[in-house]
Amino acid sequence: AQSVTQLDSQVPVFEEAPVELRCNYSSSVSVYLFWYVQYPNQGLQLLLKYLSGSTLVKGINGFEAEFNKSQTSFHLRKPSVHISDTAEYFCAVSRRGGSNYKLTFGKGTLLTVNP
């Protein structure tokens, strides 16, 4: 089975500051990794995913994440945040080699960008 730990439940930052949202996972098998964003009263939207290849993955809205196999981490970063980035962010994993690509989510990190 897989599990995901998002180390911070809330992250407040000021506009134009850099931000890092931390994610660690646990799995006995290789995994795919994802970050989703959820704006208030909306469904989840995929930000980026790591399937294979380069460990630095770039996504939408200027976000990027780095897969670190030895640390079992997949932290999300943005060099300069905007007010509009205020949302809940979820890290998720899916088992490699399976046939149903079931997603296991972390509990989420609420990013609040203040002016």
Applying CB under 8 A, the residues found at the interface with another protein are: 4, 32, 36, 41-46, 49, 51, 90, 92, 94, 99-108
Q: How far is the CB of 73 from another protein (least distance, A)?
A: 17
For residue 68, give the amino acid letter: N
CB closer to another protein, 45 vs 80: 45
What is the C-alpha separation between 82 and 49, in angstroms, rounded? 22
Shortest distance in whole angstroms from residue 46 CB to another protein: 5
Minimum distance, C-beta of residue 66 to another protein, in the bound complex (Å): 20
**97: nearest Cα among 25, 34, 29, 26:** 29
Q: How do 3-6 and 23-26 pair as beta strands?
A: antiparallel
